[in-house]
Every structure is written in C-alpha cells, then in structure tokens.
Amino acid sequence: MPTEATPDRHTELAANRTVLAAERTKETAVRTTVAAQRTEASADRRTELAANRTVLAAERTYAAWVRTGLMSLAAGVGAKKTLGGVLPEWAVVLTGSVLVAFAAFCFAAAVWREVASQ
C-alpha cells in the first residue's frame, strides 16, 4: 500500500521546489547579466567596425577620383602627340582641353567628397 503524503510533507516538498526555483532564477539572472554585457560589447565593436569600413570606403572613393583625374590629365597632355597626325589641329586641341577640364572636375569632386565625408 503506497504511503500517503501528509500536509507537512506537501509543505516540505513545495518549500524545496521553491528553493530550487529561486536558485535557478539567480543562476539565470547571472547568465543574463553576462550575456547582456557581451551583447553590449559586441554592439560597440560592430559600430566601431562599421565606422572603420566607412572611412576606408571614403578613402577608396577619393583614390578613384584622383586616379581618374590623373589618367585624364595625362591623356589630355598627351593628346597632341598621340592624335597629331590623325585629326585636324582644332580637334586635337579640343580633345586635349576636354580631357584636362575633366581632370580638373575629377580633382574638384575628389576634394569635395573628401571634405563632405568628414
């Protein structure tokens, strides 16, 4: 015949379960605090990395504008030598002038974007 639990036994079991639940709650609170600190540190790190990527992207864009401007300037200066016997003189001067003007635009755009990104 199974033994029946007495009211005192029920109270004791309930008290033990409450103590165990309280201990688990404390452990969970500690784990949650640690996880929150890790998450905050991770978010700060991600923000820092995103800022670094933005700076690097701005530098690459600046370098691209300068590179394009230098190539255009070199082509504009070398237009007379390259196109001298192929096109009429006015076309050579016009082509060289357009390329040099485009180079000036590229340099101005590079400086403008660099100043605007800071």
* pTM to 2 decimal places: 0.60
Which pLDDT does position 5 carry in this prediction? 57
Which pLDDT does position 118 carry in this prediction? 75
Assess contact for 106 and 72: CB atoms under 8 A: yes
Which pLDDT does position 95 carry in this prediction? 94
- Percentage of residues in the chain having pLDDT higher than 70: 94
Rg (CA), the chain: 37
- Euclidean distance between CA atoms 6 and 85, whole angstroms: 115
Domain boundaries along the sequence of the chain = 7-117
Q: For tokens 């008290």, what's the residue?
A: 15
Q: How confident is the model at residue 6 (pLDDT cuts 50, 70, 90)?
A: low
- Euclidean distance between CA atoms 62 and 56, whole angstroms: 10
Q: How confident is the model at residue 7 (pLDDT cuts 50, 70, 90)?
A: low
